[in-house]
Structure 1
């Protein structure tokens, strides 16, 4: 006779837990272990994604640092070419999209630091208190003239080098200027000519976390409405509120792609393809914020036990799929027609739900479905006025006599309360 295999985790078997219901906590313990295992996998996936995002930058920085050292040491005969590779890496470490500006900031910061350091050393000499005074003066001077944080830091760092190294290293000022030019220039050369990243690939990788976050929380909220699961909807709301990092990464990637396509002749042909993403950033941001209102009202709707017509969760699920299709079609370089169709289907389901009857919060959810769908339509490349017209048509609402476009895509059912 075959003996049934004990499939409990080893630590549960040793503890005598989970054996046919003898311990009422065993199921919860097993669930917690599974959750920890899933979280570990998710964390590893996130870390690998960050590595893939930064791999191109890491290779660029390594190449730029090596070239800067070689140029400064071999061609300019600088015996200690420290600042050239530092300038190259500092330029590349700046937010993508701001590297040209960062090179100028490096040079301006060096100029201020050298000027302040030389003047004060001439009158006061060198020493500990002189160092503190030089750094303070460099920072105050740059802030007074409205310089950026990068210039302030660079001026202070240069002043430190001037005060500490001038007694032992003569004629430090000119090599410092030259190294700033060499490092920044080589960093731009690497990013524009030698190793330009594919701007579309960079944006696609950066857009994935933001759009996946939006789609996932819409999907979770749709399920929460079907099950009247208030806690699940609340967790979706809290997760969506933590979207600053994803949106910042997405926006930064767009700026970096613009810079690459402007500086790199090899990427000039990508300019037209970047238009979709560049114009999509603002409406995607609006969709995030409007979805936050949608989920918050969904939580209230469940708490107040308002009616939840069957098409309402379907509308949210269609919105989630529209976001996923938008990301996929952008990545493939396709016209996002499927994403548009799915957004309008979400509006159609919202119209059916409204016709079946909703409460106060439910009417706000309906309005936000329309608003978010309009945002996604605009992100897909449709003009705002046309997106609003298509949303009204899909909802089943008569065209307004004035034909006026709804502001920022905020369309409401005839008797719905204001969004908020």
Structure 2
């Protein structure tokens, strides 16, 4: 087989890239080791920046997003027995966020690609990439896919990044001394906007996926097992960390999913080698506190699409050669913001009284200074495209 772009991974990055390339008349084949049901059902991020929404709508895959997504114009920081709203409509009036699950974005993209006759291959065994320096191709299940470019969109544990020769990439990484226990519950949200709660017991986040589904996160030890958190314990801990302001009561209900997510920061530079271009989690990971993972993947794909369109239209590799340099400033801005939000809101086992007072002082500054709040708001809704 032959195509112009071989795409490894059918997550949001790979699917969106395939669709955007299709709109430019560029052929692609998407190879995914998991089943279609698996990639459509796995619950991941749910906060879309304004730029991500605009990209999906412009690509013709935003109809359901605009109909079912939940636009938000602020978030709440909760600590010290008080609630503090960061008002996006005042601080960044031209931008907001939309709550819409990553799995819903994936469903929309798969439907659009299949409707357009896209070549999506699920449950593909033994995917490997070769010839990256000059003549790339992929092998899978005894077959070979020749292409001019390979896009590695297969996540942190995929095969694309490890295929780069040793010594080419510089890796920057940090592991955090805690994880998140994520919970999806069949219960209406108890608040209209996301609540980020700093508590001496640990961080908690109240989010949502729809008017009927709520999403919660609890800071837990890094080796925590979801099986050690029965429903009663989950609700008791969420109440202890969230019911800290007068008049707020957390609604409880059926928990339909639990999982533990490690907290790490990771960047591999450069995001390319030869004719391999890494996008999304294959190139970088952020802790989920800042809600940047999916949005960074979309930003990478926007840049890569323009570079590939120029390459196939004119033969010029100038934009492709500059792909990594074009992406990394946004990647590192998101890295810093995600680290900052994580440091601001979580408890650390080695914190002393001095460090905790510094943390609270910084929270007081963010919630009392319009300039500081505007910095949080600008980063949270996403820097302009």
Instruction: Tell me the TM-score normalized by structure 1.
Output: 0.26
Which structure would you say has the larger Rg? 1
- Which one scores higher on RCO, CA 8 angstroms, separation ≥ 6? 2
Higher-strand-fraction structure: 2
